[in-house]
Amino acid sequence: MMSMVKRTTIFLCCIIFTAMAVAQKKSTNNAALIEKIKNNTYFSFVKNKALEVMKTGFNAGDGYREVWIRDYNTFIELAAQVYPKEVLKENLLVFFRMQGDDGNIIDGFTPAEKIAKGETDFSYSKLEPRYAGHKNTVETDQETSLIQAVYKYIQLTGDRTILTEKIGDETVRERMDRAITFLMTKRFNEKYGLIIGATTADWGDVQPEHGWGVDLDENTHPAIDIYDNAMLIVALNNLMEIDPSAKTKWNKTKEDIAKNSRKYLWDAKQQKFIPHIYLKGSPFPADFDENNIYYFGGTAIAIEAGLLSRKEIKTSLDEMIKRVKQAGAPSIGLTLYPPYPAGYFANKIMNPEYSYQNAGDWTWFGGRMIQQLIKYGFVEEAYEQIQPMVKRVKDNNGFYEWYSVDNKPRGSGTFRGEAGVLYTAIEMLEQVR
């Protein structure tokens, strides 16, 4: 009879040989993937095109006159390849100069002389007379976007002096603190321990109620969603990293937001985030099952915020791919699926289905999902899912704001948010070893 020692030795050898074989196969696969990344002609085209587009300005795209903070936050890495740090910094400081007395941050700024007579939906600041500010108040991501952009600026340039830059009587560090305080006093729901906004489609800035749909008013249905809260978690993590003194004040807040996001917004049974928690009723018909809708963008930001395990990330990706196939859509940049039925949003830009933020395909968020896949080790999956995104840049010779369900370009043709997230994603892939 074989001795216990001999059997154990054989067993251990089998484990070692199996592990070596798996490691060798993985190494071979990695080498093949690295070679594919290196030789991908779309990647070089997209990067060069992105740099070309970035040289032409900081507005969101050719359909926008404003420099938007939610966009700038996603292409500041690209901008750093083209502009000196002083230019990057100045754009950030404009937002702080135009900060509201209550701490809120505007969406975007545009030269004051470009505002036509009679246009009233703008704010002005004595600290920044060159510009007029605009804010879509249905959103709750301007404050968090600015803090994230400041973090990226410091990571990119090493310039921490921005934190002590004086804006009026306050430093940038103090103004960031006031921006978070605004969210926690003006946009915070005590019952759920989460921040709120208007009802929108995932990360969108159009509410269902009448009118253009970008301003809070008496018709708004306030709600809680994952996108706003995940953005806050990312911003607080960023803030505490660049300013360790902020940990004392904000670390518990960050932990509570993360805990409550999982508690109230994550549907463990369906392995997805619910679209909304309604505080004063839903704007949609009573028999409408909104939880059947999957929010792609909010899920990507939740992953960035560290709210999902690696297993849940893979489950989320599989669900995205499944729903993209069901929709017949081109990529995981799909905003959501299934779309809200036609007529559920008063603003015609959201109708019919698969239009704009109502299940349009936005690389602006799909590219961020690619970045998170790479970060969490799903490199092969990231490479596969980025292909339709980079291909259509080449096919259309530009970066478009969004794409229809049949992959036709829509909106601005120089959308810098798309250029920025793709540039960063490709850079991340090219650094894989």
Residue 120 confidence (pLDDT): 83
**Cβ contacts of residue 103 below 8 Å, gap of 6+?**
143, 175, 178, 179, 180, 181, 182
Cβ contact 264:194 at 8 Å? yes
State percent of the chain over pLDDT 70.
93
The domain ranges of the chain are 41-430
Q: Which residue is it, tokens 């963008």?
A: 297
Statement: residue 5 has pLDDT above 70: no
Statement: residue 329 has pLDDT above 90: yes
**Cβ contacts of residue 178 below 8 Å, gap of 6+?**
99, 103, 170
User: How far apart are alpha carbons 95 and 136 in whole angstroms?
Assistant: 15
> In angstroms, what CA-CA distances link 189 with 166, 215, 279, 388?
32, 19, 9, 40
Residue 116 confidence (pLDDT): 84
φ/ψ (deg, to 5) at 213: 90, 20
User: How far apart are alpha carbons 131 and 125 in whole angstroms?
Assistant: 8
Q: Which residues pair with 198 in a beta bridge?
A: 222
- Compute how many other C-beta atoms are within 10 angstroms of the C-beta atom of residue 378: 18
State percent of the chain over pLDDT 90.
89
Statement: residue 7 has pLDDT above 60: no
**Cβ contacts of residue 343 below 8 Å, gap of 6+?**
351
User: How far apart are alpha carbons 260 and 3 in whole angstroms?
Assistant: 56
Residue 29 confidence (pLDDT): 67
Q: In the structure encoding, which two tokens stand for residue 21, read together?
A: 């074989």
Residue 118 confidence (pLDDT): 80
For 339-379, write each residue's pLDDT tens digit.
Answer: 999 999 999 999 999 999 999 999 999 999 999 999 999 99
**Burial of residue 28, with CB atoms counted within 10 A of its CB: 0-12 exposed, 13-18 middle, 19 or more buried:** exposed
- Compute how many other C-beta atoms are within 10 angstroms of the C-beta atom of residue 431: 9
Q: What average pLDDT does this structure show over 241-247? A: 97
Statement: residue 52 has pLDDT above 70: yes
Own/partner long-range contacts of 266-273 (Cβ < 8 Å, ≥24 apart): 266/307, 267/291, 271/312, 271/315, 271/316, 271/319, 272/299, 272/316, 272/319, 273/225, 273/226, 273/298, 273/299, 273/302
For 254-290, write each residue's pLDDT tens digit.
Answer: 999 999 999 999 999 999 999 999 999 999 999 999 9
Residue 426 confidence (pLDDT): 98
Peptide bond into 352 cis (omega under 30): yes
As a residue count, the chain comes to 433
- Compute how many other C-beta atoms are within 10 angstroms of the C-beta atom of residue 405: 19
Q: Tell me which residue of 185, 194, 69, 189 sits closest to 136, measured CA to CA.
A: 69
Banded pLDDT at 14 (limits 50, 70, 90): very low
CA angle 12, 14, 18 (to 5 degrees): 120
Statement: residue 10 has pLDDT above 50: no
Q: What average pLDDT does this structure show over 300-324? A: 98
Helix and strand totals (H; E) in the chain: 13, 16
Residue 183 confidence (pLDDT): 98
Specify the DSSP class assigned to residue 215: S
Statement: residue 16 has pLDDT above 50: no
Residue 233 confidence (pLDDT): 99
For 165-218, write each residue's pLDDT tens digit.
Answer: 999 999 999 999 999 999 999 999 999 999 999 999 999 999 999 889 999 999
Three-class DSSP labels, 292-360:
HCEEHHHHHHHHHCCCCCHHHHHHHHHHHHHHHHHHCCCCCCECEECCCCCCCCCCHHHCCCCECCECC
Statement: residue 9 has pLDDT above 90: no
Fold of 41-430: Glycosyltransferase (1.50.10)
Residue 380 confidence (pLDDT): 97
Peptide bond into 409 cis (omega under 30): no
**Burial of residue 428, with CB atoms counted within 10 A of its CB: 0-12 exposed, 13-18 middle, 19 or more buried:** middle
Statement: residue 322 has pLDDT above 80: yes
**Burial of residue 209, with CB atoms counted within 10 A of its CB: 0-12 exposed, 13-18 middle, 19 or more buried:** buried
Tell whether the torsion through CA atoms of 386, 387, 388 and 390 is positive or negative: positive
For the chain, give the mean pLDDT. Answer: 93
Residue 210 confidence (pLDDT): 87
What stretches of 40-84 show up as alpha helix (H) in DSSP?
Answer: 41-54, 69-79
- Cα-Cα end-to-end distance for the chain: 48
